[in-house]
Structure 1
Amino acid sequence: MFNAPRRMGGAPISSSAFLSSPGLSSSGYNDPLASSTPVPGHAGFGDVDPWSAVPSPARSGTPRGSVEEIREGITANTSSGREGLNGLINDPPAVYVSLFDQLEPNALGSVSLASVHRLLSTSKLPATTVEKIINLTSRDKSSLTRQEFFCALALVAYAQSSPAEDDDISIEKLSASLPHLPLPDLKPSSSSSLPSPTNHINNDNMLSAPSNGFESSDINHPITPSASTAFNAWDTAPRENGFQIPASDTLPGPGQGHISSGYSGNGSAFRSDGIVDESQLGYWKKLETVDVTLIPEKEGWFLQKYRVESDKRSSGAVSRRYSDFVWLLDCLIKRYPFRLLPALPPKRIGADATFLESRRKALRRFINFVVNHPVLKDDGALNVFLTEPSFESWRKRTKVSTEEESSSKKLNPAQEMAIPSDLDEKLGILRGNLPVILGSYQKLVVLAERGLARLQVHSGDSSRIAMSLQSIGETINKSCFRCLPENNQGCSLCQGVSNGLGEIGESWTRAAEEDEKRVTVITKHIESLKSTRDLYLSFRDLYIRHDKLSKDNVEALRKKVDSRTKKIDSLKNAAKPGWESEVDKLVAATDQDNSSISNSLSRRVFIRACMWHELSVVHHSRQAAQTTLGWREFTQDQIHGIKQLESVWEGLKERLEGMPID
């Protein structure tokens, strides 16, 4: 859904860009609902992922006032004028930047049309002038980019400094007046910006504790090395300085938890008797939250970095590149091939702001999935990734062990007995239904994103309705024969209707602001849907890795052992000179093969234990918690939004009772 070419959010905008008005263009947008079934055997996001499977519709143009006149006058605009407008937009006065920040721009660097309209309404300019300024600068139906907003402020300043009778606002006149352009006179208030709705998950997080509005910030369970006294059946390999050291052949007793990969935790999966540990119940109450934000400054020409910060690790924020996330996933796949591991979003050269924001959210979902996995969260490489300030130099000087966990972790008899005999059948049930579940979740994501796009357009249209109503209200008095200045008296009927239209326009503005709040809610709900979808995608990829990596050569080794045994017996019976040394060699090779067979059989059991753990503990609890908490929160926010919108129109209904009819 990110394949459509789009203008970079930070690219310079020339005055000619504002003089052109692209028409509504058709795009090759195909319905993703018709092809949302994943391709079997394809790892990663695959065809169910909107990164590559669903092209996004091209942006359509917005109707503008006097577009033809502006295009005809483009040749009259001097080159120096264009450079002056570019200079103002790319290096604006401090007050421009301050006003932009007060409107709380989104992650794409845009501000909503509703908040811009609210701000420009304080300029004391006629409503028709404000509407024309927004139409001239807003290329999108629902928002303004940073450069478009600065151009709108410059037009406001020009209109405020022009004579009252001069209502011909244009880009050409603005360019000509730039050397002496004053600052705009605006009075931003708290209503100019759109506060985030309450009771929502924190910053795109997939889950949070449901108490007090599901806010995860209320949870504070810091994890420190050696702080755990819980018994973790999977953390049996002692580590030193984050790397593996020789492990013992037996598990520690209860209350003697080891530090797995240099970082300890309390995510035990089974007790020593093989019963599911009740400490896993309510895991969502003690989630670790890692925030991933885009660093505006690039490294070199195109390398983008991300600010990564955990709420439970005291190291503070660190900066990471996309390649660092790839390194981490590669380490985890080699160490834990039979654990649930989320896929990473793709890489793209010359990515636009929309793609970068979508990838940032996907990286955030990835790292939060990993840090809240009961086994992966204690990995040493993960801890270094989240805490090491000089990560690139650390990687160059440190050799990281990628030994598979089955080579150092051993199961006790109780844990082996906890593996159900019909595990293959249980795994097969989920495997057979994965295509349907993934297809359905992808449909939910696509439909939610469609609804989000419609809501954004509706918010912009509501703002435009408000502007048109206010313009009509101003024009009514000017067009009434009884309200002309020479009559020295006003028309109460026209004045009442004008005031009523102003009230209606104000209500439409408030409705647009409420829509913007709902956009925030639905955006976070889409992230919740994607987090659950990622869970199923992770299990699909786990099946693929299991089919590929669980194979061993036990049968071939057994045939070799049987062949050597027969040969040894034959040599002993023949009793030829020097047969003892040849038998010794065959016995040594047989012992080595028997040891390999024993290790492989132990690995088979360990793999089955891992698959059972991921199915019964990780997947089973998370699919329930993520689904339930996500929809509870969405429903709560929807109720809140509907009540707020109802209050807008109820208040308007009361005020319109006094609007005159005759």
Structure 2
Amino acid sequence: MFNAPRRMGGGSISSSAFLTSPGLSSSAYNDPLASTVPAPGMSGFGDVDPWSAAPTPARSGTPRDSIEEIREGIAGTSTSISGGREGLNGLINDPPPLYVSLFDELDTTGTGQASLASVQRLLSTSRLPASTVERIINLTARDRSTLARQEFICALGLVALAQSSSDNEDISIERLSASIPNLPLPDVKPSTISQNNTLSAPPTGYDIGNHASSSDALLTPSTSTGFNAWDSTPRHTNGFSDHETQPNQISSGYSANGSAFKSDGILDESQLGYWKNLENVQVTLITEKEGWFLQKYKVESDKRSSGEPVSRRYSDFVWLLDCLIKRYPFRLLPSLPPKRIGPDASFLEARRKSLTRFINFIVNHPVIKDDGALNVFLTEKSFESWRKRTKVSIEEESSSKKINISQEMSIPTNLNEKLNFLKNNLNNILISYQKLVNLLEKSLIRLINHSADSSRLSLNLQSLSESLNKSCFRCTSTNDQNQDESQNGITNNCSLCQGVGRGLNDIGENWIRIAEETEHRVITMTNHIESFKSTRDLYLSFRDLFIRHDKLSKDNVDGLRKKVETRSKKIESLRSAAKPGWEIEVDKLVAASDQDNSTITCLLSRRVFIKACMWHELSVVFHSRQSAQITLTWKSFTNDEIESNEKIENIWKDLKSNLENMPIE
């Protein structure tokens, strides 16, 4: 299944109808799910697969070319140092612990990147001239908005070189490589940047609104004692192979047979506040690979009593989805991202986010959340051994769960009409949501570039302030007379240039504050984009449900009825003829008809159960989740934008106040 489109409901989805979305620049935050849009005029749902035609995301998140240029530039000047290391390569491959701890402190999101604003703030504590800091940034970051681990190590090495050298104007990669054997540790103060980098981690996709301070009141746990179909408290504590509910363990508000309907047969359409008590599962990429290429993920739930996180491979997620599709073919199930040979860091991060949305979708489904295989997936430490020794039931939900007459009567007679309302408009909704995600990610790229440009503006202004004072004829001693006056204690400084220089420094500090706030806004924007993708995943799940329904809901009831009718006529004919041995032949036909009638009864019950499932997924799961996610995501987005703009406004107001005393003449 390498490089193959994802399977949808048992069939592969063609990618030929996809067009690459124009104008979308690739970045470290790109998601292949959002990089394509369906071709105009497509009908049906079989060709709307955002992953199928998506190319591998660009490696812009890891600026390899800069590192390669650095390494190539010092290849011929490598100097052997202690421990068998050579030149800059040795420093990059085996950096001092201080280098590693400083990078870990700046890499708040765990993506292997440090933002330019945070690096500049750290280097500003080195007491080096702004022009030197600017040169170090230009040598390592080039025109990028982030520094990879290797580039950050080079930057710290250049800082140490500049601090130990009297000639800061000749800082270069070649000098760094030659100086490594005797290079001291850089003198910086990381504690000054920790307050500016206390940024929250991205949410899981359904934790919508949790990071918005003004939305806390909306997200307090419900104190209502009423039935909540979205209650995600796990009800299975032991791993088991059968997906049925354990004995004497009945979900609150559900009938004893485990179906998703109340005992009075009325569907729970008004499950208010489901989002207040969502289960949150974190999926983290484990950096150490298993073998040569197998990547594992750390999976940890906040409500499953496993004690410690478990590690899972991508194939384990595939196994889980295959089981759930076979058990719950008529429930909303999310799709998995594809596997790819030689994935880069950007693709792995996009897939990790997609896996996070996938598992959080499942654990918060009111029916599937209690599945035994799901519970084992989230809690069993020796998962591979468990799979080898346990035979997992893949029996369809309808074979073990039944609905009564009152529940059957609660299904609307015009259910197909209601489903068609969504089906006829789902394609347009999917296209719109993919465009929405594309546009938001383009806005995110602009924010990243704005943060980097603000950092460079700050560096440039501080360097300009230093150059301005050095170029003033009144601030420098350019002849013997001025030197004599200086030796005799006579100062000839220019208060005008010094005041302007201080003003430029204030402006530079203002721009670094803008860069830091923009960096924070990048993280919150990334969180919101994940929430929008979660809503998009909901529509994709219903599209896949329609595909599975069209394929799997078919049965041979009509054919069996014709066989029964044919046998009945033959039985009457045999009885009328009354030939010798006719009784034995009639008994065989009657037994066959009885077996077919039993099968017809089961299939008719399955038809009703399928309708009940579709109605529940439409009226309870889809309807409530769609409205809550859209509303809460946009409320949280708006609140964060207001808060961010207010902070930026205050930064400019503070600068305006500081510049009131900046001299003019």
What is the TM-score with the length of structure 1 in the denominator? 0.85
Is 1:173 aligned with 2:164? no
Q: Is the 1:116–1:192 Cα contact (8 Å) retained in structure 2?
A: no
Mapped partners of 2:638, 2:122: distance in 1: 31
Question: How do 1:389-404 residues align onto structure 2 when only pairs under 5 Å count?
Answer: 389-404=381-396
User: Residue 301 of structure 2 corresponds to which residue in structure 1?
Assistant: 310
> Contact between 2:78 and 2:88, CA under 8 Å: does it hold in 1?
no
Distance 2:349 2:138 in 1: 27
| CA apart distance, 1:241 | 6.1
What is the alpha-carbon distance in structure 1 between the residues aligned to residue 451 and residue 329 of structure 2?
46
Distance 1:144 1:571 in 2: 89
Q: What is the distance in 1 between the residues matched to 2:298 and 2:550?
A: 36
Structure 1 residue 417, shift from structure 2 partner: 0.6
Give the 5 Å matches for 1:554-573.
Answer: 554-573=557-576
Determine which of 233, 239, 242 is the counterpart of 2:240: 242
Match of 2:284 in 1: 293
The answer as to 2:412 corresponding to 1:420 is yes
Residues 343 and 186 (structure 1 numbering): CA distance in 2 closer, same or farther, change over 3 Å? same
Is 1:439 the equivalent of 2:440? Answer: no
Measure, in 2, the Cα distance between the counterparts of 1:75 and 1:201. 39
Check the 8 A contact 2:77/2:174 in 1, yes or no.
Answer: yes
C-alpha deviation, 1:56, in angstroms: 5.0
Equivalent residue letter for 2:470:
K
8 Å Cα contact 1:328/1:385 also seen in 2 = yes
What does 1:196-215 align with in structure 2 at a 5 Å threshold?
A: 196=198, 202=203, 204-207=205-208, 213-214=214-215
User: Is contact 1:206-1:531 (8 Å) kept?
Assistant: no
Structure 2 partner of 1:273: 264
Instruction: Give the SS at the match of 1:661.
Output: coil
3-state DSSP of counterpart to 2:507: helix
Quick one: structure 1 residues 136 and 294, their matched pair in 2 at CA, closer, same or farther if it must change by over 3 Å? same
State yes or no: 1:378 paired with 2:380: no
Query: Which residue of 2 is the match for residue 8 of structure 1?
Result: none
* Alignment of 1:593 onto 2:613: no
Match of 2:111 among 108, 113, 116: 108
- Residue 77 of structure 1 corresponds to 77
Shift, 1:150, TM fit? 0.7
Tell me how far 1:481 sits from its aligned partner. 1.4
Return the match for 1:545 from 544, 548, 556. 548
Offset, 1:187: 1.4
Give the Cα separation in 2 of the matches to 1:614 and 1:415: 15
Q: Is the 8 A contact 2:320 2:377 kept in 1?
A: yes
| Cross-structure match for 2:11 | none
* Match of residue 53 from structure 1: 54
The match for 1:355 among 330, 347, 363 is: 347
Q: 1:408, CA displacement in angstroms? A: 1.1
For structure 2, the 5+ residue unaligned runs are 4-24, 231-235, 487-491
Task: Point out the more displaced range, 28-37 or 72-81.
Answer: 28-37
627-636 vs 480-489, greater mean Cα deviation: 480-489
Which structure is richer in relative contact order (CA contacts within 8 A, separation 6 or more)?
A: 2
Partner of 1:522: 525
Q: How much does 1:247 deviate?
A: 10
| More moved, 49-58 vs 173-182 | 49-58
Distance of 2:538 and 2:549 partners within structure 1: 16
Hey, what does 1:492 align to over in structure 2?
495
Counterpart for residue 574 of structure 1 = 577
Native 8 Å contact 1:141 1:461 kept in 2: no
* Deviation by residue 1:406-432 (Cα, 9 ceiling, x = unmatched): 011111011101111111110001000
1:166-214 deviation line (CA, Å, top 9, x unaligned): 411100010001100000011123435643457x974554436799654
- What displacement does 1:141 show? 1.6
Distance 1:178-1:216 versus aligned 2 partners, 3 A rule:
farther
More divergent stretch after superposition (76-85 vs 582-591):
76-85
For 2:325 and 2:257, the matched residues in 1 are separated by: 20
Q: Secondary structure at the match of 1:403?
A: coil
Following superposition of structure 1 onto structure 2, how do residues 43-192 of structure 1 map, counting pairs within 5 Å?
Answer: 47=48, 49=50, 52-53=53-54, 56=57, 59=60, 77-78=77-78, 80=80, 83-139=86-142, 141-163=144-166, 165-191=167-193
CA distance in 1, matches of 2:322, 2:522: 35
CA distance in 2, matches of 1:473, 1:71: 33
CA deviation map 1:459-488 (0-9, x unaligned): 000000100010000001111111113534
Assess if the C-alpha contact under 8 Å between 1:59 and 1:140 holds in 2: no
Following TM superposition, by how much is the alpha carbon of 1:636 offset from its aligned partner in structure 2, in angstroms?
A: 1.0
CA deviations over 1:381-403 (Å, ceiling 9, x no partner): 00100111110000000000000
Q: Which of 315, 318, 342 lines up with 1:323 in the alignment?
A: 315
Comparing 308-317 and 374-383, the one that deviates more: 308-317
Aligned partner of residue 455 in structure 1, secondary structure: helix
* 1:27 Cα deviation from its structure 2 partner: 9.1
1:77 Cα deviation (Å)? 2.4
* Cα separation, 1, equivalents of 2:344 and 2:637: 29
Pair 1:140–1:52, CA change in 2 (3 A): farther
Shift of 1:319: 0.8
Supply the AA of the counterpart residue of 1:477.
Answer: N
* One-letter amino acid of the structure 2 residue matched with residue 207 of structure 1: I
CA RMSD of aligned residues (A): 3.6
Q: Aligned pair count?
A: 613
- Identity over aligned pairs, percent: 62
Question: Cα offset for 1:255?
Answer: 7.3
Matches within 5 A, 1:452-491: 452-486=444-478, 487=482, 488=486, 489-491=492-494
CA deviation map 1:351-393 (0-9, x unaligned): 1111111111100100000000010001000010011111000
**Aligned CA distance change for structure 1 residues 440 and 133 (closer, same or farther; 3 Å):** same
Structure 1 pair 230–362 and aligned structure 2 pair: CA distance change class (3 A): closer
1:363 and 1:61 map into 2 onto residues whose CA distance is 22
Question: 1:157/1:172 Cα in 2 relative to 1: closer, same or farther (>3 Å)?
Answer: same
Report if aligned partners of 1:216, 1:287 keep a CA contact under 8 Å in 2: no
